[in-house]
Structure 1
Amino acid sequence: MLFKLLAAIALQTGSEASLNELAQITGTNVHTVKRYLELLEKSFVIFRLNSFSRNLRKELAKSQKIYFYDVGIRNAVIRNFNEMNLRADVEGLWENFCISERLKFNQNHRRLVNTYFWRTYDQKEIDYIEEKDGHLTCFEFNYAEGATGKFPTEFSETYPNSSFKVITPGNFYEIYK
């Protein structure tokens, strides 16, 4: 059951996780899935990001994403160690890697921040948000070299005290600033 749960999470990296769907995949109930997720979090195998929602009616308010602290464990669970250019899951893998590295950076520098992702019902999204001292720093992770992202207008207008960065392999080290 635990291995099935980990595999289901690994295959959904970068997407919103539904506890009902995870229960269905593993052949158990939502309560058991919640307990296993808590155990995996306490064991530092996975971590969850909750959705950011304050003002807009179109924001997803109760969603969550689940990531692995170590993408090597994720790859081992699904038995996929292919080169990045051969993978169908490259964007989710890149997002997971960048977010876990940013969390480690914050922890190592004793930066206390609240962390989220943001999405609206009409599919506008921000991969990762940090809230510190009333300021929102937003990150978009894109594996395509030289990719540019667009700061969603709804977000920037609703939360004017925010900034936006696109992280690619070419500027990856900017997550350490």
Structure 2
Amino acid sequence: MFDFPYIPRALEKQLVTPGLAGRAEIILGPRQVGKSTLLNKLAQGKRHLVLTGEDEDDLAVLADPKSYLPLLEQFPYIIIDEAQFVPGIGRVIKRMVDSNHAGCRLFVTGSSSLELAGGMKESAAGRFNTYNLWPFSLEELAAHTSWIEVKRQIQDRMIYGCCPAVVNEPQHAKQYLLDFADAVLYKDLFKLAEMRKPTELVKLVKYLAYNVGSEVKYATVARELGIQNKTIERYVDLLEACFIIKTVPSLSCNPQSEIKLGKKIYFYDNGIRNALIRDFSPLPVRTDAGALWENLFFTERLKHHAFRCDGAEIYFWRTRAKHEVDFLEVLNGKVRAFECKSSAKSKTTSIKAFERAYPETKVAIATPNNIDVIANDERLTD
């Protein structure tokens, strides 16, 4: 049973029927975004079994093929939760898929990349379909209520984010986010990776939180924090593998005038970012309101494309003359460009510079007032 009204997830439509036949369905995403809730809802009313990588008894079952393979005949649905903690998870999935003659639906969840746990590509290649689940999208919330209500609460989403616990219990949002940032956020990373100096990692995460949406150069960060450049790169890769941050590269078609190797870093949820810097101040008094809107818009586009599994890639654009456009989306060879503004404004010199360089692509202004057109993937207009 669910303690709160269930808010349908866009991913449900893809999971109701199997993807490529005979494969396991793997759902990856940050902790506490509803992966288990989604699968329990999907299996509700059907005979099913849940095994978790955080339970010693379940790990003992998953360690022995003689214990877990017979389960395929007994249960139409089997869910392996927090699979990143299952030793040799790739071999387990391979054996289960190859032995699944009864047509059992096999679902696997992970709050970190299962490659971090090791063995997926080598052991289970061709035996799984992969999906990503993120915190609620504004599109999902609008389908549950309305776009009018979503726009009414847009400042709360910019401050407290879209994690299910925040949406369901807004009165406890601040405490939940602080507790999550202190006790849960790094759980997978500390357990799965060798962290000799976790204080360096925490220092880096806070630095990235304060500089969200800014171009990041590892050498500069290394000098400011006193951490080796290679360590910065490794930590960023691990943070991304554990769904804490997402890096956005620059798109360069003209190396002579455009930045080629730049990176921007965003957090998968605004509320987590604000918890890391201990700032839940109202939007009107904040100096980072623009960065908060940019981070929220980015995550919305990330979710939008993830739900559709369309393969779109997101970049930013910047020239050596410091002209910049926030986001470029490349899909099927076509480019769409977005500039985030807290309110609609006339075109900046950067937008004019981009449209001169790429006359076939117009830059759309994305504001909290026109966020609803994302739902239909329509062209944003200023």
TM-score (norm 2): 0.44
1:124 aligns with 2:337: no
CA distance in 1, matches of 2:278, 2:327: 27
- Which residue pairs with 1:105 in the alignment? 304
- From 163, 172, 177, the equivalent of 2:362 is 163
- Which residue pairs with 2:282 in the alignment? 83
Q: Give the partner amino acid of 1:175.
A: I
User: How far apart are residue 63 of structure 1 and its match?
Assistant: 0.6
CA RMSD of aligned residues (A): 1.6
| Cα deviation digits, residues 51-92 of structure 1 (max 9, x gap) | 111126221111110110111111011111011111101111
CA distance in 2, matches of 1:62, 1:43: 23
- From 146, 162, 166, the equivalent of 2:344 is 146
Greater relative contact order, per chain length (Cα 8 Å cut-off, separation 6+): 1
From the CA coordinates, give the structure whose radius of gyration is larger. Answer: 2
Work out whether residues 128 and 138 of structure 1, in 8 Å CA contact, stay in contact via their aligned partners in 2.
Answer: yes
User: How far apart are residue 134 of structure 1 and its match?
Assistant: 2.0
1:22 aligns with 2:241: no
What are structure 2's unaligned runs of at least 5 residues? 1-199, 378-382
CA distance in 2, matches of 1:33, 1:142: 31
Work out whether residues 147 and 168 of structure 1, in 8 Å CA contact, stay in contact via their aligned partners in 2.
Answer: no
SS of the residue 1:122 aligns to? coil
User: How far apart are residue 147 of structure 1 and its match?
Assistant: 2.8
Structure 1 residues 2-41: aligned runs within 5 Å: 2-41=201-240
1:52 aligns with 2:248: no
SS of the residue 2:362 aligns to? strand
User: How far apart are residue 28 of structure 1 and its match?
Assistant: 1.3
Number of residues of Structure 1 aligned to a counterpart in Structure 2: 176
User: How far apart are residue 169 of structure 1 and its match?
Assistant: 1.0
CA distance in 2, matches of 1:123, 1:77: 29
Work out whether residues 135 and 161 of structure 1, in 8 Å CA contact, stay in contact via their aligned partners in 2.
Answer: no
1:68 aligns with 2:267: yes
Work out whether residues 118 and 127 of structure 1, in 8 Å CA contact, stay in contact via their aligned partners in 2.
Answer: yes
Q: Which of structure 1's runs of 4+ aligned residues deviate more than 3 A?
A: 148-151
SS of the residue 1:137 aligns to? strand
CA distance in 1, matches of 2:208, 2:265: 7
SS of the residue 2:336 aligns to? strand
**1 or 2, which has the higher strand percentage?**
1
User: How far apart are residue 121 of structure 1 and its match?
Assistant: 1.6
Work out whether residues 246 and 267 of structure 2, in 8 Å CA contact, stay in contact via their aligned partners in 1.
Answer: yes
Work out whether residues 325 and 354 of structure 2, in 8 Å CA contact, stay in contact via their aligned partners in 1.
Answer: no
CA distance in 2, matches of 1:134, 1:154: 21
Q: Compared with structure 1, are the counterparts of its residues 15 and 123 closer, same or farther at alpha carbon in structure 2 (3 Å cutoff)? A: same
User: How far apart are residue 132 of structure 1 and its match?
Assistant: 1.2
SS of the residue 1:169 aligns to? coil
User: How far apart are residue 24 of structure 1 and its match?
Assistant: 2.2
What are structure 1's unaligned runs of at least 5 residues? none
User: How far apart are residue 23 of structure 1 and its match?
Assistant: 1.5
- Which residue pairs with 1:135 in the alignment? 334
TM-score (norm 1): 0.92
CA distance in 2, matches of 1:119, 1:148: 19
Q: Give the partner amino acid of 2:330.
A: E
SS of the residue 1:162 aligns to? coil
SS of the residue 1:152 aligns to? helix
- Which residue pairs with 2:177 in the alignment? none
